[in-house]
Amino acid sequence: MDVDGTSSAHLERVVAHGVDGLSRASGRLRALRGLARRDLSIPDAVALSSSGDVVARVPALAGIDLESLARLRGGLPLGELISVGVGVADALAALHSVELSHGDITPANVLVVAGRVVLVDLLGACDPGRSTPGFADPIAANRAGVHGDLYGLGATLRAIAAPNAATVIKAWTEPMMTSDLTRRATARDVTRALPHCTEPSPITVPQRGIAEDVRLRAAAVVRTERTREGRRWRVRRRIVRSAIVTTAVVIVGAGLGLVSERTPTAPQAADIATSEPGVMSPPDVAARNLTIARVAALARGDGPGLLATTAEGSAARLADNDLARRLGTDVTFTELGVTVLSATTRSLSPTQSRVVVTYVLSPHRRHDGGRLEQQLESRERVELTLVTTAEGWKVAQALPAT
């Protein structure tokens, strides 16, 4: 792995279809290569497959996308939002200077690599029917151009903002998203104006060692959607989902071996599922995924989501009822992360399994009513009893592992 986050690994993405699509992609790639910037992830090559798909070969970067980062941390503080905004706007200004636009600025299409932002999916504009709900300009004619890029940047900064930064960043992004195009800011306007909001600060990525796994998940899972008349956006090669969760870090808070945290405005996209629809995961994979899904719900302050990881009527559900009710109001956690190290199946039957999950909790603060507790880093093991339900494996009991 190089110090700038690049590697010899590559991914392949379908970016268009047919000879005309290949011509558009090739022309765009030539223009991108003329920029040669570190904040643009430029594909190595494009080719037409035997099935007629235009396939781009792109480098796999050791970074984390903003969607995942915001979910892990519960949103970014104002200084880091300014760093993100200035970095993305500077990259967009370079694109716009050669009459190119990105066409789909979203948190999933911006990586943090070695402390800097990098735009990915640069050939997506070859597929003009694509859009991402919530980040696409409401005026369809603007989506694929420079105005759409600025709208997407404003929506991205709002989506990844921490709760205490949301009001301020909403005001500062208004010029990027105004419906009056004569007043909409340019990318260069943003690079000059945003630093006047507050001093930019370095973008913090928790547990740097897992960033590549998270990055690969972001690269492999389809996030964009197609308009009704557009052709489906497809990924040529997917990363195996179970490999994603072998080691994962989430922002969480403590609670009997499993964990909790409040991050009310974290983006809601793509919670980790326990299995593919209609397929029962192996119990060790389900235990990892349920742990991550549990803490993601807790990170959002989502009591119902927390309870959804447990089996109805179980001891685990009963134990979580009070926490779910108080989560995000009376009980909150700050600066808490968990690294899931392993999950080992101890016993298995058609309806029940016992799995031991090992994880490390980071130093953190727990606020419980008026009481503040400072906790040190700790390594813990919990034995989960999983039972089968109509929705897959669920936690029926969680006890310290012996």
Give the CATH number of the domain where residue 206 resides: 1.10.510.10
Do 219 and 252 belong to one domain? no
Residue with more model confidence, 351 or 368: 351
Do 197 and 249 belong to one domain? no
Do 37 and 71 belong to one domain? yes
Separation of alpha carbons 10 and 31, rounded Å: 21
Do 247 and 356 belong to one domain? yes
Residue with more model confidence, 320 or 2: 320
Does the reported pTM lie above 0.75? Answer: no
Do 191 and 245 belong to one domain? no
The sign of the CA dihedral 347, 352, 353, 358 is negative
pLDDT at 92 over 70: yes
Residue 236 included in any domain: no
Beta strands in 234-336 (DSSP E): 249-251, 254-255, 258-259, 331-334
Do 269 and 215 belong to one domain? no
Residue 5 included in any domain: no
Do 180 and 319 belong to one domain? no
Do 41 and 159 belong to one domain? yes
- 344 is written with which tokens? 């080992």
Q: What is the pLDDT of residue 144?
A: 75
Give the CATH number of the domain where residue 395 resides: 3.10.450.50
For the chain, the residue count is 402
Q: Are 194 and 89 in contact (CB under 8 A)?
A: yes
- 258 is written with which tokens? 């499993």
- 17 is written with which tokens? 């279809």
Do 205 and 285 belong to one domain? no
| Amino acid letter, 171 | A
Q: Which domain holds residue 357?
A: 241-400
Q: Are 261 and 298 in contact (CB under 8 A)?
A: yes
- 218 is written with which tokens? 């972001």
Residue with more model confidence, 215 or 331: 331
90 Cβ neighbours under 8 A, 6+ residues apart: 39, 187, 191
Q: Distances in Å between the alpha carbon of 140 and those of 123, 150, 179, 181?
A: 19, 14, 12, 13
Determine the angle formed by the axes of helices 283-299 and 66-73, rounding to 10 degrees.
70
Do 198 and 267 belong to one domain? no
pLDDT at 233 over 80: no
Q: What is the pLDDT of residues 136-192, one digit of tens each?
A: 888 867 777 899 999 999 999 999 999 999 999 999 999 999 998 888 999 999 999
Residue 387 included in any domain: yes
| Amino acid letter, 395 | V
